[in-house]
Amino acid sequence: MDFIVFAKRLLTFFIAIMFVGIIVPDIEFNGLVPAFIVTLLLALINTFVKPVLKFLALPLTMATMGFFPLLLNLVIVYLLADFVPGFSVGGILWVFLFSSLLSVVLWFVDRLVRAV
């Protein structure tokens, strides 16, 4: 993947995170820099770490009938809230809503970009 495609995907990811962060009440970014740091870290985690974790957790995913990847997303967002200054989450419900809406928005934007 060349740099221009990566930059476009990162920008759309950043816009989606900011959009969902505005919609969900207890997800707070204290400026654009923490939002961009969250975008970068989430993109890196989703690209490199999450596939390995999904593979290692395959038995748990099967045992919980697909619920474990959702739990994995919640833990990742909670850890990002702990590590990134200026990014805070209110509670488990808001993290669940943030993760769910972010997935839907990114899916929708991906479909729009592929159609164009």
Does 94 fall in a domain?
A: yes
In terms of Cα–Cα distance, which of 19, 45, 18 is closest to 31? 18
**Structural domain includes residue 114:** no
Asked if 25 and 106 touch (Cβ cutoff 8 Å), the reply is: no
Number of structural domains found in the chain: 1
**Per-residue model confidence (pLDDT) at position 66:** 81
Domain annotation covers residue 88: yes
Least confident of 14-28, 29-43, 47-61, 102-116: 102-116
Within-domain flag for 116: no
**115 belongs to a structural domain:** no
Other Cβ atoms within 10 Å of 27 Cβ, number = 23
Rg of the chain over CA atoms, in angstroms?
14
Average pLDDT, the chain: 88
Domain that holds residue 94: 3-109
For residue 73, being part of any structural domain is answered with yes
How far, in whole angstroms, is CA 11 from its chain's centroid? 13
Cβ distance 10 to 43 under 8 Å?
yes
- Quick one: pLDDT band at residue 67, thresholds 50, 70, 90? confident
**3-class SS letters over 92-111:** HHHHHHHHHHHHHHHHHHHH
pTM: 0.85
